[in-house]
């Protein structure tokens, strides 16, 4: 065990702290559960829905990208420690590895995986153009109606 003795002692201390405070709490705390108390918190109103089971897919994507980066970091650690001994060979090997990762990173960026804000697909000019088209169409429809009414009157 040797070096890990301190870790074990710390673990015992942490566990006993947690155990003691839970034990004390179990002894001192009241226990009066009511149906309303056991409901999920909903700002005071009675909840009529189970907790959400769907959330944005981007969270999954981040988890996947993280794995790629984390594996890379795992490789970087031993290399960083021994880098002086590995000299130029090690440096170029790792540079190649990082460049490959950066290419993947650029692809991720281009695909918009890391864009969390709502996409702004329309700029102001296009938007205004759309409004103008809509306005023209509405105007045309109105004058059509007018013409119809006039012919009726006639």
Partner 1 sequence: MEKDWLDHGITILVVILIFTVQMLITTFLVLFERKFVAWMQVRIGPNRAGPWGLFQTVADALKLMVKEIFVPRGADRTIYMLAPFLTVFPAFMAFAILPIGPSFEFVHGDKTHVVAIQGANLNVGILWLLAMSSVAVYGVMLAGWASGSKYSLLGSVRASAQVISYEAALSLSILPVLLWTGTLDLQEIVAAQSGWNWYAFGLLLIPFVSFFISGMAETNRLPFDLVEAESELVAGFHTEYGGARFMFFFLAEYINIMTISAVAVTLFLGGWNGPWVPVQADPAGWQVALGVLYFFLKTFVLLFLFIWIRATLPRMRYDQLMSFGWKILIPVNLVFLMVLAGLVVMQEVGAWPAGFFR
Residues that bind partner 1 (CB under 8 A): 2-7, 9-11, 13-15, 17-18, 21-22, 24-26, 28-33, 35, 37-43, 49-52, 55, 58-59, 62-63, 65-66, 69-70, 73, 76-77, 80-84, 87-88, 90-91, 94-95, 98, 101-102, 105, 109, 114-117
Give 40 or 154: the residue with its C-beta nearer to partner 1.
Answer: 40
Give 44 or 125: the residue with its C-beta nearer to partner 1.
Answer: 44
- Give phi and psi for 57, each to the nearest 5: -65, -20
* R_g (Cα) of the chain, nearest Å: 33
Asked if 64 and 107 count as a contact pair (C-beta separation under 8 A), the reply is: no
Q: How far apart are CA 97 and CA 118, in angstroms?
A: 33
Give 6 or 121: the residue with its C-beta nearer to partner 1.
Answer: 6
Q: How far apart are CA 93 and CA 113, in angstroms?
A: 28
């Amino acid at each position: 065990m040797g070096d890990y003795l301190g870790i074990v002692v710390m673990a015992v201390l942490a566990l006993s702290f947690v155990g003691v405070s839970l034990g004390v709490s179990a002894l001192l705390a009241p226990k009066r559960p009511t149906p309303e108390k056991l409901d999920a918190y909903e700002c005071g109103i009675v909840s009529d829905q189970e907790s959400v089971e769907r959330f944005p897919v981007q969270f999954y994507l981040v988890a996947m990208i993280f794995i790629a980066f984390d594996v890379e970091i795992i490789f970087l650690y031993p290399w960083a420690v021994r880098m002086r001994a590995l000299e130029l060979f090690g440096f170029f090997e790792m540079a190649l590895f990082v460049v490959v990762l950066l290419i993947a990173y650029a692809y991720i960026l281009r695909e918009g995986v890391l864009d969390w804000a709502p996409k702004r697909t329309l700029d102001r000019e296009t938007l205004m153009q759309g409004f103008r088209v809509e306005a023209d169409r509405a105007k045309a429809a109105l004058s059509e109606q007018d013409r119809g009414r006039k012919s009726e009157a006639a």
